[in-house]
Chains A and B, each alone.
Chain A
Amino acid sequence: MTMTTTNDMIAASPARRRFGGGDLIGLAIILLVAVIGYFLFPNNLALLTRIIAAALLVLSLDLVTGYCGVATLGHAALFGAGAYAAGIASAHYGINDPLAMLAFGIVAGAVAGLVCGVVILRAHGLPQLVLSIALIHLFHEFANKASSWTGGSDGLSGIAPTALLGLYEFDLWGRTAYVFGVVLLAIVFLLLRLIVRSPFGMLCRGIKEDPVRIRSMGASPKIALTKMYVISGAVAGVGGALNAISTQVVGLDSLSFNMSAESLVMLVLGGTGSLFGALTGTVVFMFFEDVVSAANPFHWLTMVGALLIAVVLFAPKGLYGTAAALVARRREAK
């Protein structure tokens, strides 16, 4: 077969057509939702920025759980590491440039990802889950005890980011932080779209389905998963740093078991193994939580629980996953 013919077939393949379009559509949707959010909730941009930070954590979790099949209830450790690193850089070392703080967050998240990956990947199934819980408790306790650095249970304060690019001050209304968050989310989303479609992404999907088969192809699942954990840590670190920069305080809740569990709930709600699923789950969960807790402060947790039960029972692939499956079935029927 000639190269020209091959290229024609590649260009004509349905998978190829889907790919580039998906990136742009995804980016357009993120930006559209961000703009709508900006105009609908001009006085609540802090909530929207918090949602973006959580979305980065859930995307990060999706990389290891959705794409690689790793069970974890300790993923906030990576997020918290990023948040504390960015916060400590500012509060203790006077590194107040938001981009430098972001870099600290990314590196700390990646290092935390490496540490967690090395430990968690030694086990499978339930023992893996237990290891992840142990890790988040260790991280939490470490941050609590190292109070001279982290502020302990009082939280880390004194974070004072300077103007973004020397031009945009972090204002009281949270506009700069919100735009900064949207840009970060868009960049991370595009990078992750590239990664999940890359040979490495394909390798990880293979590992999720059958690590024995991957070994028989000469690849090491453990090395690949550790690498994915580091990438995941960097993404969670972006979320953590964004949280530290936008709220200018870092609390112990940013590396809590509760946050880890909530991020898993958001992922399952949206649908695992899909970046769109992770984003959908985060937005729906956090909005639902915010609206319902304001409407009924006494029974809001019951309502959140009811929503989750309904989704798990009637849309087991998650909100996005089920919708995508329905659309695909309709297309096939045509």
Chain B
Amino acid sequence: MQPIFEVRNLKRAFGGLAVTNDVSLSMAPGDRVALIGPNGAGKTTFVNLVTGNLRPDSGEVRIAGEPVTGVDAIGRVRRGLVRSFQVTRLFADMTPAEHVALAVLQRDGRAGRLFGNFLGMPDVMVEVQELLGKLGLKELMHRKVSEIAYGQQRLLELAVALALKPKVLLLDEPAAGVPQSDTGRIEQALADLPADLAVLMIEHDMDLVFRFAKRVIVLAAGAIIFDGSPSDVTKDPRVREAYLGSYANASHAA
């Protein structure tokens, strides 16, 4: 199967320090990949490089076979690379319905329309209600985002990303800051993601990583030191040394 998302020999240094050092990876539609690494491993820089918010010194990024290294962040979103944020970035004065509708309209090239309201656009409303319904947010669709709980805001982040119909979804710690009682709903939402969507999840919560990912990539000091199955990651000596030591020991002891 042709890769939907490829990173080839991506490099970026800040003042001589290689923060992303010859990183390559490839994902096929439907992949569920977790990207992990200790603090300072270069995960944020990697995300900024692939989303187009930072220019690499060398290397290439491809979406569905098309090189997008010279394409800006907006162009990459339009080509199907969508991200969610570690800290929720929603519009406090807008409703969940408005968020999803805006994403749908933007995706369809209708966000610049000067007349009409999305509430009067049946095709948009059907999609808004379906998406919010799947994520359990339908009852809140006309409430202001500032009035809904943080866990629900995280779900709305996901809804906005899905409304853009991405080919590749980058999830930056989707359960960060969510109370324990709400994480089950988020995990369910992650499990229900479209089967053909390639998902790259950056996550610290190892339990979530092991439940979600079919493949784990470990980044340390800007380089990939492991790329394999979740069952093997804890056995890898380099990973143990760089990152997972205490966790692996603990799980073995258990």
Which residues of A approach B to under 8 Å, CB–CB? 1, 3, 6-7, 9-10, 13-16, 19, 194-195, 197-200, 202-203, 205-206, 209-210, 212-213, 215-220, 224, 227, 231
* B74 contacts A by Cβ under 8 Å: yes
Say how far A254's CB is from chain B's closest CB, in angstroms. Answer: 28
Residue of A13, A199, A220 most packed against chain B (CB within 10 A): A199
* B112 contacts A by Cβ under 8 Å: yes
Q: How far is the CA of A266 from the CA of B83 in the complex (A)?
A: 41
Subset of 16 A-B contacts with CB under 8 Å: A7-B122, A13-B119, A19-B117, A198-B114, A200-B113, A202-B118, A203-B111, A205-B91, A206-B94, A210-B90, A216-B73, A216-B82, A217-B102, A218-B74, A218-B106, A227-B112
* B16 contacts A by Cβ under 8 Å: no
**Other A-B pairs, 14, CB within 8 Å; known A1-B130, A210-B91, A218-B106:** A1-B129, A9-B129, A16-B120, A194-B114, A198-B114, A199-B111, A200-B112, A202-B105, A205-B94, A209-B92, A215-B73, A216-B73, A216-B83, A217-B102
Q: How far is the CA of A205 from the CA of B111 in the complex (A)?
A: 12
Verify B102–A199 contact, CB threshold 8 A. yes
Say how far B153's CB is from chain A's closest CB, in angstroms. Answer: 12
Say how far A237's CB is from chain B's closest CB, in angstroms. Answer: 17
Verify A217–B106 contact, CB threshold 8 A. yes
Specify which chain A residues have a CB less than 8 angstroms from the CB of B85 in the assembled complex.
213, 216
* B201 contacts A by Cβ under 8 Å: no
Count the A-B residue pairs with Cβ separation under 8 angstroms: how many?
A: 112
Least CB separation from B170: chain A residue: A216
Say how far A210's CB is from chain B's closest CB, in angstroms. Answer: 5
Q: How far is the CA of A109 from the CA of B246 in the complex (A)?
A: 66
* B107 contacts A by Cβ under 8 Å: yes
Q: Which 6 A-B pairs have the closest CB atoms?
A: A218-B77, A209-B91, A213-B89, A199-B113, A199-B105, A218-B78
Q: How far is the CA of A218 from the CA of B161 in the complex (A)?
A: 11
* B214 contacts A by Cβ under 8 Å: no
Verify A200–B129 contact, CB threshold 8 A. no
* B164 contacts A by Cβ under 8 Å: yes
Interface bits B108-145 vs A (CB < 8 Å: 1, else 0): 00111111111110100110011001000000001000
Specify which chain A residues have a CB less than 8 angstroms from the CB of B107 in the assembled complex.
218
Verify A220–B74 contact, CB threshold 8 A. yes
State how many residues of chain B have any CB contact under 8 Å with chain A.
43
Partner of B115, one of A9, A195, A231: A195
Verify A219–B129 contact, CB threshold 8 A. no
Residue of A197, A217, A231 most packed against chain B (CB within 10 A): A217
Least CB separation from B73: chain A residue: A215
Q: How far is the CA of A19 from the CA of B112 in the complex (A)?
A: 20
Verify A203–B126 contact, CB threshold 8 A. no
Verify B112–A209 contact, CB threshold 8 A. no
Verify B74–A219 contact, CB threshold 8 A. yes
Q: How far is the CA of A215 from the CA of B93 in the complex (A)?
A: 18
Specify which chain A residues have a CB less than 8 angstroms from the CB of B126 in the assembled complex.
1, 3, 6
* B223 contacts A by Cβ under 8 Å: no
Partner of A6, one of B89, B95, B129: B129
* B61 contacts A by Cβ under 8 Å: no
Verify A199–B164 contact, CB threshold 8 A. no
* B27 contacts A by Cβ under 8 Å: no
Specify which chain A residues have a CB less than 8 angstroms from the CB of B92 in the assembled complex.
209
Least CB separation from B82: chain A residue: A216
* B160 contacts A by Cβ under 8 Å: yes
Least CB separation from A197: chain B residue: B117
Specify which chain A residues have a CB less than 8 angstroms from the CB of B115 in the assembled complex.
194-195, 198
Specify which chain B residues have a CB less than 8 angstroms from the CB of A220 in the assembled complex.
74
Partner of A198, one of B98, B117, B130: B117
* B233 contacts A by Cβ under 8 Å: no
Specify which chain A residues have a CB less than 8 angstroms from the CB of B83 in the assembled complex.
216
Specify which chain A residues have a CB less than 8 angstroms from the CB of B73 in the assembled complex.
215-216
Q: How far is the CA of A215 from the CA of B76 in the complex (A)?
A: 10
* B101 contacts A by Cβ under 8 Å: yes
Q: How far is the CA of A46 from the CA of B209 in the complex (A)?
A: 71
* B49 contacts A by Cβ under 8 Å: no
Say how far A109's CB is from chain B's closest CB, in angstroms. Answer: 17
Say how far B188's CB is from chain A's closest CB, in angstroms. Answer: 21
Specify which chain B residues have a CB less than 8 angstroms from the CB of A224 in the assembled complex.
112
